[in-house]
A and B are shown apart, each in its own frame.
Chain A
Amino acid sequence: DTAVSQTPKYLVTQMGNDKSIKCEQNLGHDTMYWYKQDSKKFLKIMFSYNNKELIINETVPNRFSPKSPDKAHLNLHINSLELGDSAVYFCASSPGVAGYQETQYFGPGTRLLVL
């Protein structure tokens, strides 16, 4: 019944490694997002996809590469992990273009710690 799910919930890894985080939503939404929340709780958008198409690509190092195989899934691959990548990564989804204001539904977050 989980609306937006992410795997894994926790990820501890060494600097320089490559890792992926997966996100799935079963709400039938067209738009999905990746956010990074740092230790100060600041929530910053990284990417958004609408129906598998990249529509928002904020200033994010190109070590971060999102992939959307279909509109229900949005994965995030991170190459050459750095200490500063340690944060909580949230996936979110929203209905899409219908309506002006869109509620975003968040997943539980993936806590990434780079050692």
Chain B
Amino acid sequence: QKEVEQDPGPLSVPEGAIVSLNCTYSNSAFQYFMWYRQYSRKGPELLMYTYSSGNKEDGRFTAQVDKSSKYISLFIRDSQPSDSATYLCAGGKEAGNNRKLIWGLGTSLAVNP
């Protein structure tokens, strides 16, 4: 079992829809979680991160972590065609020099005008 599991999609939604992107993880040692967005032929860029259970909101984006069920979500409200990209979740573990991110496979999202 991969440490971070993510449905690769593709997910196709109409403009204005609420999008829910999800990951599950198996490693209880993860101490923080990140969502990155990757446009086609570009490098990933950070969208949001969370340390613990609960919600974190930034504009149209909400990240949610449920440590009891090992489930992380990213919600996009009022989705726009410019949100069309691959969304990667990642779990982070270990402090200091040995820190690294374990990545999900990414979910491909298409928002149709």
Contacts and interface: CB of A to CB of B under 8 A. Distances in A.
A104 interface: yes
B80 to A, nearest CB: 22
Interface in A92-110: 92, 97, 100-109
A22 B44 CA distance: 18
B46 A104 contact: yes
A43 B104 CA distance: 8
Interface residues of A, number: 25
What band does the interface of chain B fall in when counting residues whose beta carbon is under 8 Å from A? 20 to 34
Contacts of B51: 100-101
Interface of B: 8, 31-32, 34, 38, 41-46, 49, 51, 86, 88, 92, 95-101, 103, 105-106, 108
Given A41-B8, A103-B49, A97 B105 contact: no
Interface of A: 4, 31, 40-45, 48, 50, 55-56, 90, 92, 97, 100-109
